[in-house]
A and B are shown apart, each in its own frame.
Chain A
Amino acid sequence: MSVQKQELQIFSDHTVLSKHLFEGASSNLMMVTDTAATNASWLVNALVETVTLGGPVSLNGNNSSSAEVFSVPVKVVVGSFLNSKSHFTSSFDRLKIPRNEYSVLEIAEDLVLKNVGKPVDVVIATILKQFQTALGERSLLVLEKPELLMALFKLSSDDLHLKLINPLLKLCSLLIVVTSVESFDNDFPENLGKNTVEFVRFTTSCFHKSFLVLSVRPLDTGKAKDVTGTLALTRGGALLDVSAVQPVENHYLFHNFKENTSLFYR
């Protein structure tokens, strides 16, 4: 059975990341949600590839058909609170993204050892500074698992948003927040614990700020032989502040096998 593979399309101009996003002065936020079972790393890779190599080369076992240089030079910065720099560089190396095309910040490295006992504001200021030096005009920032900061430093969701996410958003053209929605469930007991509330609050607040949500999750039916999960592109609570393009809602099935990801229409 051969199923037609599909190109990833996020914007109305048939692109994965439209150049229009980086042309104006506005800053927009896009959210990628994943679960413990389905890590969105392949999607992040594809997004980074789009900007650095000109297209999501690794998707669909592509023969780099659409690989032309991204029309606007965009700075790509990756910052993760979970994974170390080498984690990204080694996977970008495998995708043959030249190292000078992106920068990965060392944030997760010894995050605790370096910062334990310090006031939260100082910690955040240090992190912000790291980003400030790396980011520039027209940049794409991938921010992975910022919610970890809440658990690590007793930070509230609101503070995380107001003191870190907002300033970062201001610094770049497109901010992609990668966050986990594992264990988000309507089965929560009536009396929600504070931690739970804060995590749900963070993610929901993020939703209201994003113009698009890319949600990667397993099939509701569980494991399948030739389908790893679904990728759903749905509008978020905010409007894209770029008039030339609009985000497109799309649902895909994807199959991830031996570092290759293929997309199919749902």
Chain B
Amino acid sequence: MASTNNNPKVLLKRTFSLKEQASLILCTDTMAQSSRHVVEEFANNVSDEMPIVFVSFETPNKPKYARQFIDASGKTSKQLISVLQPYLPQPQEQAPKMHLVIIDTLNYILSEDLTQFISTIASPFVTILATYHQSIPTWRSPEFENYPAAIQLLQFIANTVIEVTPKTSIDEDDLEADLSRFVIPRNLNSHIFYVTLTNKRKSGRAIKNKFSINSKTHEYEYVIEKQEEHVEESPEMFEGLTTFNLNTSEKQKLAKDQVELPYLEAQSFNSGGAIVYEFEKDDDYDEEDPYEDPF
């Protein structure tokens, strides 16, 4: 087991093929990058033997890999469970098969009902793979204002959280601003994207790894988050930029460092907040002129 620590890619593979024990695998996605491709990866990696039950709130189309398809629209969460139950391993069964229940979104289930819903379905022989769309806002009734939001709950109870993010050059804040205006930039929701896999170990530790995934070729790439290093200014940086000499020599640097900046004086508080102004010999101050106020 310990070896998986060393090789994050193996861990991701094991997660996709459900070899890592988990009763709830949560995918969180946004408008910028949907989790559909991740779900496809799961379907691609699990053994063909494994029965997959697809619970759908969003599409009437039964995916090819699904053995059972349950249309959840128009059903209360109780009704849904009762429809779902027969397809799950029954408690009296001896050594039942592992089942995978895919729920295309949990957004339609009230956060108050959510834990109840998950815990009724979940069992040692069932893995739930569910998506939560983070961009969909929820209005929270004042009644439950202290109750955690759905996403908090899910992240808390999930064994594995896969956060899906787009591989894009757009600045994160700009992207968010655009999407909230419903302006959708190009090249989002592509088949190449990032996932951040958070794996909660039995030991209590959580391991977080980032991968780049190409869902067409099924290639996974471990991404080492580079720390933005503070780059020291070097003469080479200015080469070829302009014809001006932008470099500073050692001597100039020293001189620069020794300059006492004007506000330093103000920080000494000696003058009690007064404005520090000293007449110099070139100053031509005219008492009469209202516009020539040195302060």
A binds B: yes
The chain A residues found within 8 Å of chain B, CB to CB, are 26-28, 33, 158, 161-163, 166-167, 169-170, 181, 184-186, 188, 192, 194, 197-198, 200-201, 203-205, 207-209, 213, 215, 217, 232, 234-239, 241, 249, 251
- Asked if residues B60 and A169 are in contact (CB atoms below 8 Å), the reply is yes
The chain B residues found within 8 Å of chain A, CB to CB, are 29, 31, 34, 36-37, 40, 57-61, 71-74, 105, 107-108, 133, 135-139, 176-177, 180-190
Chain A's interface: helix, strand, loop or mixed, by majority?
mixed
> Within the assembled complex, what's the spacing in Å between the Cα atoms of A67 and B261?
75
Chain B's interface: helix, strand, loop or mixed, by majority?
loop
**What are 29 of the A-B contact pairs (CB < 8 Å)?**
A27-B61, A158-B108, A161-B73, A161-B108, A166-B60, A169-B59, A181-B182, A184-B180, A192-B137, A201-B138, A204-B137, A205-B136, A207-B31, A208-B34, A208-B133, A215-B182, A215-B183, A217-B183, A232-B184, A235-B188, A236-B34, A236-B189, A237-B31, A237-B133, A239-B40, A241-B59, A249-B186, A249-B187, A251-B186
- Asked if residues B73 and A166 are in contact (CB atoms below 8 Å), the reply is yes
Assuming the contacts A161-B73, A184-B180, asked whether A208 and B137 have C-beta atoms less than 8 A apart, the reply is no
- Asked if residues A241 and B61 are in contact (CB atoms below 8 Å), the reply is yes
- Asked if residues B71 and A204 are in contact (CB atoms below 8 Å), the reply is no
Q: Which residues of A contact B29 (CB under 8 A)?
A: 237
> Within the assembled complex, what's the spacing in Å between the Cα atoms of A114 and B71?
31
Q: Which of B57, B138, B176, B184 gathers most chain A CB within 10 Å?
A: B184
- Asked if residues A163 and B183 are in contact (CB atoms below 8 Å), the reply is no
- Asked if residues A238 and B190 are in contact (CB atoms below 8 Å), the reply is no
- Asked if residues A194 and B139 are in contact (CB atoms below 8 Å), the reply is yes
Q: Which of B36, B136, B182 gathers most chain A CB within 10 Å?
A: B182
- Asked if residues A201 and B137 are in contact (CB atoms below 8 Å), the reply is yes
Excluding A198-B139, A215-B182, A237-B29, 16 further A-B contacts by CB distance (< 8 Å) are A27-B61, A162-B74, A169-B59, A169-B60, A185-B181, A188-B180, A201-B139, A208-B136, A213-B184, A217-B183, A232-B184, A235-B188, A236-B189, A237-B34, A238-B36, A239-B37
Question: Which of A208, A215, A238 makes the CB contact (< 8 A) with B184?
Answer: A215
Q: Which residues of B contact A27 (CB under 8 A)?
A: 59-61
- Asked if residues B182 and A184 are in contact (CB atoms below 8 Å), the reply is yes
> Within the assembled complex, what's the spacing in Å between the Cα atoms of A167 and B60?
8
> Within the assembled complex, what's the spacing in Å between the Cα atoms of A188 and B34?
24
Cβ distance B146 to chain A, nearest Cβ, rounded Å: 16
Assuming the contacts A194-B139, A208-B133, asked whether A238 and B182 have C-beta atoms less than 8 A apart, the reply is no
> Within the assembled complex, what's the spacing in Å between the Cα atoms of A207 and B187?
15
- Asked if residues A235 and B176 are in contact (CB atoms below 8 Å), the reply is no
Cβ distance B86 to chain A, nearest Cβ, rounded Å: 22
> Within the assembled complex, what's the spacing in Å between the Cα atoms of A213 and B186?
11
Question: Which of B71, B107, B189 makes the CB contact (< 8 A) with A205?
Answer: B107
- Asked if residues A234 and B188 are in contact (CB atoms below 8 Å), the reply is yes
Cβ distance B27 to chain A, nearest Cβ, rounded Å: 12
- Asked if residues A204 and B73 are in contact (CB atoms below 8 Å), the reply is no
Q: Which residues of A contact B57 (CB under 8 A)?
A: 161-162, 166
Question: Which of A166, A185, A198 makes the CB contact (< 8 A) with B180?
Answer: A185
> Within the assembled complex, what's the spacing in Å between the Cα atoms of A33 and B182?
9
Complex A-B, nearest 5 residue pairs according to Cβ-Cβ distance, in ascending order: A166-B73, A237-B34, A197-B139, A186-B180, A181-B182
Q: Which of B29, B177, B186 gathers most chain A CB within 10 Å?
A: B186
Cβ distance B17 to chain A, nearest Cβ, rounded Å: 21
> Within the assembled complex, what's the spacing in Å between the Cα atoms of A207 and B188?
13
> Within the assembled complex, what's the spacing in Å between the Cα atoms of A234 and B182?
11
> Within the assembled complex, what's the spacing in Å between the Cα atoms of A184 and B105?
23
> Within the assembled complex, what's the spacing in Å between the Cα atoms of A167 and B57?
11
Identify the closest chain B residue to A236 (Cβ). B189
Identify the closest chain B residue to A167 (Cβ). B73
Q: Which residues of A contact B182 (CB under 8 A)?
A: 33, 181, 184, 203, 215
Question: Which of A163, A181, A239 makes the CB contact (< 8 A) with B74?
Answer: A163
